[in-house]
C-alpha cells in the first residue's frame, strides 16, 4: 500500500449540457396524443407480466391448470416421459402454450407507462378532484410568483395592458358587427385639415374560391372612409391575397361602398378615391398615416404613408365633408362600412339601446328599435387587427407621422378620436349578463364579466372597458357584439354551452365580443400610458395596482376582483344545504335566480381570476429545467373561431410569455403569462384567449439536462508500489519470458481515493490485476459520471 498525494491538476471536470427537443400534441379531434414521455428510460418489449388465467374452458385436457407456470412444468414433464417411451413429438403442447399463453401475457407496465403534459382550467369546486387544480393555481400565484418575482419579468397575477382590436369573418359569426361611436355634434368630422394614423396587421386571408372583400377600418358618412383592399395580383400559391393596400374615400366618394368602387372609371362621384402605392404584407405590422392640409398646406395636397413609403393626392376643396349637421346626430363606424341613409343613423341610438347599453341617446322619438334591416347594410367587415387608431384635427407633417409611429400621445390635445385600445376601469351602467337567463343593470371595472365567471363559470370579456374613445371620453355601441339572455325553458345547459353554441343561443354575438380584443404582438411600437393617468382618478387606480407595488397603468390586475366581504364566512358548501339557496345559480344549474353571493367564489374562497390556463409539465420531459427562450405554445384554431384565430406564444428567456404571431418584430415585453423553467409550470393569465388549447394542446420546447464527469488521474511512478508489506507476499517475474526472469513485480487490484482525513470517498476495483515492475510507470484514470 502506498499513499500518493493528488494535486489540483490531477482532476479533470467536464460538464455536458444536453438540450433534447420536445414536441407534445394532445388532441380531442382525432389526432390522439403524440410525444408522451416514458417513465422507464430503458424498455424491453419482450419482458412481460405473466398473470394467472381463470378461463380455460377451451383448453381441453389443460383446463385444470390455473397458471402459465403450470403449463411450463407440464410441458417439461411430458418431454421427460416422452423420451422414456420413445415419443419425441411435443409440438401440439408447445403450440398450445405459444397460442394461448404468450399473446395474453401483458407487457410489463414499467415499460409501457407514460406521462402526458397536463393542461387544465381552474375548478369550480374546492373538493377533489377539482381541488387539486385550485391548489396548483394558488401555489403558482402565492408561492412561485413571489419566489421568482425578483428574477422573472412581470411575475405577478396580472397581464400587460397592450391589446389590439380584432375583426375577422367566420362562417359561425355574424359579419355585420361594428363599433358605433355616437356623434351628436359632428365632433368626429374634421372641419378642415386632418390626419388619421394607426397600426394595422392584415392577418386574415380570403378563401381561395372567394373574392377578397374590402374591409373598412373607419367610416364617417359623407366625410371619409378608410378601407383595407387586396393589392393588384398579390396572391400566394394557394390563391389567397397576401398583399394589401389602403383605400381612402373622401367627401361624396365616401358614400360609395368599397366593394363597388370601379377603379377603371374614377370620374365623379368616384373622383376622390385614392389608394396607396405601397403594399401591406400579410401578417406584418404596418404603420399607416393619412393626412390632408386643404389650401393652407401644400396647396390642397395630402398623402397616404405606409411605413416609410408615401403616396400623394390632391383634393381642391376647403373641407372633406359634404355632410351638413344632422339635428339628430350621427356616428363614426369602426371595423365595418355603413351603407344606408345618414338620417337613419340616430335610430341605432334609440331610447332602449341607450338605456340597455349605457350610451348617449340620439333619437329623440319614442322609438325603441333599430332601423329596419332593409334600410342599411354592414357588408364590409375588416379582416385585420389594429391599434392606436387616431383622428387628428390638423395636417400632419412627416415628423408628426413618424412620432405617432413610435409611441402613444401623452394627452388628447389635437385629437378628435383615439382608440388605443387601453383598459379603462369605468363604464356607464348597462345590462350585464349574470347567467344565460338574467342580466343586471350596473357598470363594470374589470377586464371580464366577474359575476358571470364567479357565478356560473361563464366567459365574457368586458369589451366596453377596452374600446373607450379617449378623445371624447365615450364608449361605442357594440353592434352585434352583446350577449342576449335565453327567454325559453332549456334543460341541462351550462354557461359554456350558451357561449360556444353560438348559432343556437346567441347568434355568435358573445363569441364575436370575446374575440374583439386580443393580445398585441407589435414590437415596433412602445405604448405610453400617460393619457390613462390624466383620466383615471380616485379609487379607479386600484385596477392598476398589484400586491405591495405602486400604480402601473401598463398592467391589468387579476386579484381581488370581488370583495371578500361579499362571501359568507364559515359556510362550507354541501349539496342540499341551505347554502344552495343563498348562492342561487351555479355552474351546474345556471337557470335559477342569482343569490346574494357568487357560487364559485363562495365554494373556493378564491377571488382572483379563474380565466386562466395552466400547463403542468413533468421533469421527465426536460430534466433539470426547461431551456429559456425555447418554450412555445401553438394554438391552431381557438375554440369557437371556426379555425380562424391561430396563436403562437413564446417565452422571452426571463420567465415571460408573449404573443409571437407577426412576421415583424415581437413585443417580447408584453406579458400575457409566465413560465417557471425549473418547476415545469406555465400559466396563461390573459382572459382574451379563452380556452386556448382546449381542443388541441401543442407544446414545443427544449429540455436542459446537465451531465457532469469527474476524472481522477492517479500517477504511479517507477519508485513507488514496488513492494508489499504483507509477510506472505512472494514476488514473481511479470511473465514467463526469459528477459523478465530477473524482474520482480507486484500486482495492483484496486485504488482508493481518500479525503484529507484519510476517509475513503471513492474506490475502484480493477477487472484484473495490474502487474507493475520497477521499470513501469503509468497513470490510473478513474472516471465518475453524476
Q: Is residue 622 domain-shared with residue 732, that is, in the same domain?
A: no
Q: Both 328 and 375 in a single domain?
A: yes
pLDDT at position 87? 65
- Give me the pLDDT at residue 100, please: 57
Does residue 411 share a domain with residue 338? Answer: yes
Q: Is residue 54 scored above 60 in pLDDT?
A: no
Same domain, 545 and 417: no
Residue 5 falls inside a structural domain: no
d(CA 753, CA 593): 77
How much is the pLDDT for 744?
Answer: 85
Residues 174 and 289 in one domain: yes
CATH number for the domain harbouring residue 241: 2.60.120.200
| Same domain as 657, residue 577 | no
Of 521, 443, 482, 553, nearest to 689 by C-alpha is 521
In the chain, % of residues over pLDDT 90: 59
**pLDDT above 70 for 254:** yes
pLDDT of 53 higher than 60:
no
Say what the pLDDT of residue 441 is.
92
What pLDDT, in 10s, does the model give residues 64-100? 444 555 666 666 676 667 666 666 676 766 676 666 5
How far apart, in whole angstroms, are the C-alpha atoms of residue 429 and residue 743? 106
Closest CA to 672 of 496, 520, 539: 520
Map residue 144 onto helix, strand or coil: helix
- Residue 581 clears pLDDT 60, i.e. is over it: no
- Residues 597-654: tens digit of each pLDDT: 788 888 888 899 999 999 999 999 999 999 999 999 999 999 989 999 999 999 999 9
What cell numbers appear for 346 in the block? 340616430
Boundary residue ending a domain (670, 699, 728): 699
Say if residue 685 is in the same domain as residue 571: no
Residue 675 lies inside a defined structural domain of this protein: yes
Q: Are residues 131 and 206 in the same domain?
A: no
Note the pTM of the prediction, 2 decimals. 0.85
* Pairwise CA distance, residues 696 & 717, whole Å: 66
The chain-wide mean pLDDT, for the chain, equals 87
What integer pLDDT is reported at residue 65 of this predicted model? 47
- pLDDT one-digit tens code per residue, 320-353: 876 656 778 899 999 999 999 998 999 999 999 9
Domain shared by 638 and 738, yes or no: no
Phi, psi of 9 (to 5 degrees): -75, 0
- The answer to the question of residue 73 being in a domain is yes
Q: For residue 472, count CB atoms less than 10 angstroms from its CB and return exposed for 0-12, middle for 13-18, buried for 19 or more.
A: buried
> For residue 669, is it within any domain?
yes
Of 84, 109, 134, the residue that ends a domain is 109
Number of domains in the chain: 5
Residue 29 located in a structural domain: no
Helix and strand numbers (H, E) in the chain are 15, 41
**3-class DSSP assignment, residue 197:** strand
pLDDT of residue 436: 85
The model's pLDDT over 441-482, given as tens digits with 9 standing for 90+, comes to 999 999 999 999 998 889 999 999 999 999 999 999 999 999
- How high is the pLDDT of residue 520? 97
User: What is the predicted pLDDT for the residue at 110?
Assistant: 77
pLDDT at 730: 82
Q: Which of 89, 109, 129 is at the close of a domain?
A: 109
Residues 477 and 487 in one domain: no
The answer to whether position 23 is within a domain reads no
For residues 703-724, average pLDDT:
90
Assess contact for 625 and 676: CB atoms under 8 A. no
Domain assignment present for 19 = no
Range in 55-69, 154-168, 567-581 with the lowest mean pLDDT: 55-69
Instruction: Say yes or no: 577 and 635 in one domain.
Output: no
User: Do 359 and 508 sit in the same domain of this protein?
Assistant: no
d(CA 470, CA 529): 11
Flag whether 737 is in a domain.
Answer: yes
pLDDT in tens, 742-771: 888 888 889 999 998 999 999 999 999 999
Query: Can you give the pLDDT at residue 733?
Result: 86
The answer to whether residue 101 scores a pLDDT higher than 50 is: yes
Number of Cβ within a 10 Å radius of residue 731: 12
pLDDT tens-digit map of 406-446? 999 999 999 999 999 999 999 999 999 988 888 999 999 99
- Distances in Å between the Cα of 283 and the Cα atoms of 384, 458, 522, 652, 686 are 9, 31, 11, 21, 22
**Using one digit for the tens of pLDDT, what is the confidence trace for 514-544?**
999 999 999 999 999 999 999 998 889 999 9
**Residue 225's pLDDT band (cuts 50, 70, 90):** very high
Residue 497: predicted pLDDT:
85
Look up the domain containing 726 and give its range.
717-785
Amino acid at each position: 500500500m502506498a499513499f500518493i498525494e493528488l494535486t489540483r491538476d490531477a482532476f479533470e471536470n467536464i460538464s455536458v449540457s444536453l438540450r433534447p427537443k420536445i414536441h407534445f400534441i394532445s388532441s380531442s379531434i382525432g389526432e390522439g396524443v403524440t410525444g408522451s414521455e416514458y417513465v422507464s428510460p430503458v424498455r424491453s418489449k419482450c419482458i412481460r407480466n405473466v398473470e394467472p388465467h381463470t378461463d380455460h374452458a377451451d383448453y381441453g385436457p389443460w383446463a385444470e391448470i390455473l397458471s402459465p407456470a403450470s403449463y411450463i412444468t407440464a410441458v417439461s414433464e411430458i418431454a421427460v416421459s416422452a423420451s422414456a417411451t420413445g415419443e419425441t413429438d411435443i409440438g401440439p403442447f408447445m403450440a398450445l402454450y405459444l397460442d394461448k399463453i404468450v399473446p395474453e401475457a401483458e407487457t410489463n407496465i414499467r415499460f409501457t407507462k407514460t406521462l402526458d403534459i397536463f393542461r387544465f382550467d381552474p375548478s369550480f369546486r374546492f373538493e377533489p378532484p377539482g381541488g387539486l387544480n385550485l391548489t396548483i393555481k394558488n401555489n403558482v400565484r402565492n408561492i412561485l410568483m413571489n419566489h421568482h418575482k425578483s428574477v422573472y419579468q412581470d411575475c405577478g397575477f396580472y397581464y400587460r395592458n397592450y391589446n389590439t382590436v380584432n375583426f375577422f369573418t367566420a362562417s359561425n359569426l355574424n359579419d355585420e358587427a361594428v363599433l358605433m361611436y355616437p356623434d351628436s355634434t359632428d365632433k368626429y368630422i374634421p372641419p378642415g385639415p386632418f390626419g388619421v394614423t394607426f397600426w394595422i396587421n392584415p392577418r386574415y386571408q380570403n378563401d381561395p374560391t372567394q373574392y377578397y372583400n374590402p374591409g373598412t377600418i373607419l367610416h364617417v358618412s359623407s366625410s371619409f372612409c378608410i378601407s383595407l383592399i387586396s393589392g393588384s395580383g398579390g396572391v400566394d400559391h394557394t390563391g389567397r391575397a397576401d398583399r394589401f393596400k389602403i383605400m381612402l374615400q373622401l367627401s361624396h366618394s365616401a358614400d360609395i361602398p368599397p366593394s363597388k368602387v370601379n377603379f377603371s372609371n374614377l370620374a365623379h362621384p368616384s373622383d376622390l378615391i385614392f389608394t396607396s402605392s405601397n403594399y401591406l404584407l400579410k401578417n406584418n405590422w404596418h404603420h399607416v398615416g393619412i393626412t390632408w392640409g386643404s389650401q393652407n398646406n401644400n396647396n390642397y395636397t395630402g398623402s397616404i404613408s405606409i411605413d416609410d413609403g408615401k403616396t400623394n393626392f390632391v383634393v381642391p376643396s376647403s373641407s372633406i365633408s359634404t355632410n351638413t349637421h344632422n339635428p339628430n346626430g350621427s356616428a363614426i363606424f369602426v371595423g365595418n362600412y355603413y351603407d344606408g341613409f345618414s338620417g337613419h343613423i340616430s335610430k341605432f341610438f334609440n331610447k332602449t339601446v341607450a338605456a340597455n347599453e349605457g350610451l348617449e341617446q340620439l333619437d329623440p322619438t319614442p322609438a325603441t328599435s333599430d332601423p329596419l334591416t332593409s334600410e342599411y347594410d354592414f357588408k364590409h367587415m375588416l379582416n385585420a387587427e389594429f391599434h392606436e387608431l387616431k383622428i387628428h384635427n390638423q395636417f400632419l407633417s412627416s415628423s408628426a407621422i413618424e412620432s405617432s409611429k413610435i409611441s402613444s400621445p401623452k394627452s388628447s390635445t389635437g385629437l378628435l378620436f383615439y382608440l388605443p385600445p387601453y383598459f379603462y376601469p369605468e363604464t356607464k351602467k348597462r345590462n350585464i349578463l349574470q347567467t344565460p337567463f338574467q342580466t343586471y343593470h350596473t357598470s363594470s371595472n374589470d377586464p371580464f364579466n366577474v359575476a358571470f365567471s364567479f357565478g356560473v363559470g361563464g366567459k365574457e370579456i368586458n369589451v366596453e372597458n377596452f374600446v373607450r374613445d379617449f378623445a371624447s371620453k365615450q364608449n361605442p355601441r357594440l353592434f352585434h357584439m352583446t350577449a342576449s339572455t335565453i327567454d325559453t325553458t332549456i334543460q341541462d345547459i351550462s354557461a359554456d354551452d350558451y357561449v360556444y353554441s353560438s348559432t343556437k343561443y346567441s347568434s355568435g354575438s358573445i363569441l364575436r365580443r370575446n374575440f374583439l380584443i386580443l393580445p398585441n404582438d407589435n414590437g415596433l411600437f412602445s405604448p405610453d400610458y400617460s393619457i390613462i393617468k390624466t383620466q383615471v382618478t380616485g379609487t379607479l387606480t386600484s385596477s392598476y395596482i398589484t400586491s405591495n407595488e405602486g400604480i402601473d397603468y401598463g398592467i391589468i390586475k387579476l386579484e381581488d376582483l370581488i370583495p371578500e366581504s361579499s362571501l359568507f364566512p364559515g359556510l362550507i358548501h354541501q349539496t342540499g344545504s341551505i347554502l344552495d339557496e343563498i348562492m342561487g345559480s351555479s355552474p351546474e344549474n345556471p337557470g335559477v335566480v342569482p343569490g346574494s353571493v357568487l357560487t364559485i367564489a363562495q365554494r373556493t374562497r378564491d377571488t382572483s381570476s379563474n380565466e386562466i390556463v395552466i400547463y403542468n409539465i413533468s421533469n421527465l420531459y426536460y430534466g433539470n429545467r426547461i431551456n429559456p427562450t425555447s418554450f412555445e405554445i401553438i394554438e391552431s384554431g381557438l375554440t369557437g373561431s371556426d379555425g380562424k384565430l391561430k396563436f403562437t406564444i413564446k417565452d422571452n428567456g426571463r420567465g415571460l410569455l408573449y404573443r409571437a404571431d407577426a412576421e415583424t418584430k415581437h413585443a417580447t415585453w408584453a406579458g400575457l403569462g409566465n413560465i417557471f423553467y425549473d418547476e415545469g409550470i406555465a400559466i396563461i393569465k390573459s382572459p382574451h384567449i379563452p380556452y386556448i388549447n382546449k381542443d388541441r394542446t401543442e407544446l414545443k420546447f427544449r429540455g436542459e439536462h446537465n451531465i457532469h464527469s469527474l476524472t481522477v488521474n492517479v500517477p504511479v511512478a517507477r519508485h513507488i508500489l514496488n513492494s508489499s508489506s504483507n509477510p506472505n507476499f512472494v514476488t514473481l517475474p511479470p511473465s514467463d519470458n526469459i528477459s523478465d526472469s530477473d524482474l520482480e513485480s507486484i500486482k495492483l487490484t484496486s485504488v482508493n481515493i481518500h479525503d484529507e482525513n484519510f476517509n475513503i470517498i471513492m474506490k475502484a476495483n480493477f477487472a484484473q490485476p495490474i502487474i507493475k515492475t520497477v521499470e513501469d510507470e503509468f497513470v490510473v484514470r478513474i472516471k465518475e459520471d453524476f
